[in-house]
């Protein structure tokens, strides 16, 4: 039986992950409108991964006799004035998601819910990778993105990203 607060936070995380998917789809939308299909591809795949994250929380709750309540998803409302803005917003967002996962981990730890802590271990590691990827994108954009040829090459590189299903299976 899941603790009430832990169950609530797990349910909220479904919404947060779907919001992340929606946010990254909005980033893809921005880049597509600028003719940068590689950046758009990167964020479309990112959006798919976020949907996977949401479904892992959904399935974990069901597997543990929890109740899933789907709430409305906020409208992505970031405003972008230059091509690097979504990359910076992406890093900021991942740092926020890391704080949510850590908060959830702390709540599970408080009630000695070792099963949820073990489930969350994958997300703790994943958040480290998400932040590294977001940081790397900013660094590479700052190095190459302000030169048209460099931007073209970066866009071509990001076009090569392919979707892979999450390594965590429930």
Binding interface with ligand FEO (CB under 6 A): 17, 20, 50, 53, 94, 97, 130
Residue closest to 116 by CA, chosen among 30, 7, 38, 21: 7
Distance CA 68, CA 98 (A): 22
Nearer to ligand FEO by Cβ, of 45 and 153: the residue is 45
Nearer to ligand FEO by Cβ, of 17 and 113: the residue is 17
Min dist. Cβ of residue 91 to ligand FEO (A) = 11
The residue sitting closest to ligand FEO, measured at its beta carbon, is 53
Other CB atoms within 10 Å distance of the CB of residue 27: 25
Nearer to ligand FEO by Cβ, of 128 and 156: the residue is 128
- Tokens 């850590």 correspond to 102
Q: What's CA 147's distance to the chain center, in Å? A: 28
Distance CA 165, CA 170 (A): 13
- Tokens 């990203």 correspond to 161
Helices then strands, each counted (H, E), the chain: 5, 0
Min dist. Cβ of residue 59 to ligand FEO (A) = 15
Other CB atoms within 10 Å distance of the CB of residue 57: 26
Min dist. Cβ of residue 149 to ligand FEO (A) = 30
Min dist. Cβ of residue 112 to ligand FEO (A) = 26
Nearer to ligand FEO by Cβ, of 40 and 53: the residue is 53
Nearer to ligand FEO by Cβ, of 129 and 157: the residue is 129
Min dist. Cβ of residue 25 to ligand FEO (A) = 13
């Amino acid at each position: 039986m899941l603790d009430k607060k832990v169950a609530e936070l797990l349910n909220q995380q479904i919404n947060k992950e779907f919001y992340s998917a929606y946010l990254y789809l909005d980033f893809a939308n921005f880049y597509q409108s600028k003719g940068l299909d590689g950046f758009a591809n990167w964020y479309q795949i990112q959006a798919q991964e976020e949907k996977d994250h949401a479904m892992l929380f959904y399935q974990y709750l069901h597997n543990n006799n929890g109740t899933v309540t789907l709430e409305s998803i906020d409208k992505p409302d970031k405003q972008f004035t230059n091509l690097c803005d979504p990359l910076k917003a992406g890093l900021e967002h991942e740092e926020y998601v890391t704080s949510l996962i850590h908060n959830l981990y702390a709540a599970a730890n408080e009630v000695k819910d070792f099963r949820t802590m073990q489930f969350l271990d994958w997300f703790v590691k994943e958040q480290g990778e998400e932040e590294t990827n977001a940081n790397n994108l900013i660094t590479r954009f700052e190095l190459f993105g302000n030169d048209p040829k460099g931007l073209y090459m970066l866009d071509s590189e990001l076009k090569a990203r392919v979707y892979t299903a999450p390594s965590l299976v429930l």
